[in-house]
């Protein structure tokens, strides 16, 4: 087998090529990462290509209402909110008040305070409330919070997204998921990401695929269209 495909330097070159050409970072995005780091947030925002994919997918469905699950410092929220037309709205859910505070500042500095709202609390509870309150459906739901709850987030997202809308989930190829089935340990079998991927693959109302994304190594976005 040719080793060239496995050489991490090739992946890095491809990553930088894609980032330079398709996902330039402006001052607002750079500042968001800098402020997140200074505030002690973990460096786990989506990659530049991941951000651009979110933006592209939101544009593809002409999203006017977007729900994000897991805000952190607001990096992916900026990519998503920028895809909205005037009057469009992003609602982003965040458990940690400290993260939400950093995100709100970053969104305001990016000129998106009017378009993006950060709700602090348990995403599961907030999404269940949304289902109960029968508010207007979303055009896109982006899932990126705690991985254990991914299967429930997918089920709830399916109820909160309109027909023809998209559900996207980050980290679909995190390392344990990509192991061969035979190697999957008890721990990994309980891995919510793998279960979410299987749910999406088998779901009668969803057309789904994992799109690999180059960032820090290779990860993937699960992309599901609601039929």
Considering the complex, what minimum distance in angstroms separates the CB of residue 86 from Mg ion?
A: 29
Nearest approach, Cβ of 6 to ligand SAH (angstroms)? 27
Indicate the residue among 76 and 197 with the shorter CB distance to ligand SAH: 76
Number of helices (H) and strands (E) in the chain: give both, helices first: 10, 7
CB of 172 vs ligand SAH, minimal distance in Å: 14
- Closest by CA to 111, choosing from 25, 19, 29, is 29
Asked if 144 touches ligand DHB (CB under 6 A), the answer is yes
In angstroms, the Cα distances linking 115 to 44, 49, 91 are 23, 22, 9
Residue 91 binding ligand SAH, by CB under 6 A: no
DSSP tag of 112? -
Query: How many chain residues touch ligand DHB (CB under 6 A)?
Result: 4
Candidate residues 23, 29, 46, 225; the one interacting with ligand SAH per rule CB under 6 A: 46
For strands 217-226 and 206-215, give the pairing.
antiparallel
Question: CB of 167 within 8 A of CB of 101?
Answer: no
Binding positions for ligand DHB, 168-187, rule CB under 6 A: 170-171
CB 171, min distance to Mg ion, A: 5
44 forms part of the interface with ligand SAH (CB under 6 A): yes
Structure tokens at 161: 């997204």
Cα–Cα distance for residue pair 19/48, rounded to 1 Å: 6
**Residue 165 contacts which entry, Mg ion, ligand DHB, ligand SAH, none (Cβ below 5-8 A, type-dependent):** none
> Can residue 72 be called a binding residue for ligand SAH (CB under 6 A)?
yes
Instruction: Tell me the closest approach of the beta carbon of residue 144 to Mg ion, in angstroms.
Output: 4
H or E stretch at 224: strand 217-226
Q: Kindly report the backbone phi and psi dihedral angles of residue 212, in degrees, each rounded to the nearest multiple of 5, phi listed first.
A: -65, 140
Query: Smaller CB distance to Mg ion: residue 96 or 162?
Result: 96
Please identify, using beta-carbon distances, which residue of 33 and 224 lies nearer to ligand SAH.
Answer: 33
- C-alpha distances (whole Å) from 146 to each of 24, 69, 85, 168 are 28, 9, 29, 15
Burial (CB < 10 A; 0-12, 13-18, 19+), residue 18, is: middle
State which of residues 143, 170, 196, 224 lies at the interface with Mg ion (CB under 5 A): 170
Q: Which residues bind ligand SAH (CB under 6 A)?
A: 44-46, 70-72, 75-76, 93-96, 99, 122-123, 144-146
Q: Which residues bind ligand DHB (CB under 6 A)?
A: 44, 144, 170-171
**Residues within the interface to Mg ion (CB under 5 A):** 144, 170-171
């Amino acid at each position: 087998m040719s080793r060239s495909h496995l050489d991490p330097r090739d992946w890095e070159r491809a990553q930088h090529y894609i980032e330079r050409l398709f996902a330039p970072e402006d001052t607002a995005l750079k500042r968001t990462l800098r402020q997140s780091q200074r505030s002690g947030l973990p460096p786990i925002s989506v990659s530049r290509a991941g951000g651009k994919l979110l933006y592209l997918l939101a544009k593809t469905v002409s999203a006017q209402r977007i729900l994000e699950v897991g805000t952190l410092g607001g990096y992916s929220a900026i990519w998503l909110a920028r895809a909205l037309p005037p009057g469009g709205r992003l609602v982003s859910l965040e458990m940690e008040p400290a993260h939400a505070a950093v995100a709100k500042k970053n969104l305001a500095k990016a000129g998106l305070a009017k378009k993006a709202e950060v709700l602090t609390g348990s995403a599961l509870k907030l999404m269940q409330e949304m289902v109960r309150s029968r508010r207007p459906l979303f055009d896109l739901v982006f899932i990126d919070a705690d991985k254990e709850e991914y299967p429930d987030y997918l089920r709830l997202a399916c109820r909160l997204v309109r027909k023809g809308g998209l559900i996207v989930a980050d980290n679909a190829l995190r390392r344990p998921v990509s192991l061969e089935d035979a190697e999957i340990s008890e721990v990994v079998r309980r891995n919510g990401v793998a279960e979410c991927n299987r749910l999406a693959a088998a779901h009668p109302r969803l057309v789904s695929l994992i799109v690999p994304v180059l960032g820090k190594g290779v990860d993937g976005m699960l992309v599901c269209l609601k039929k």
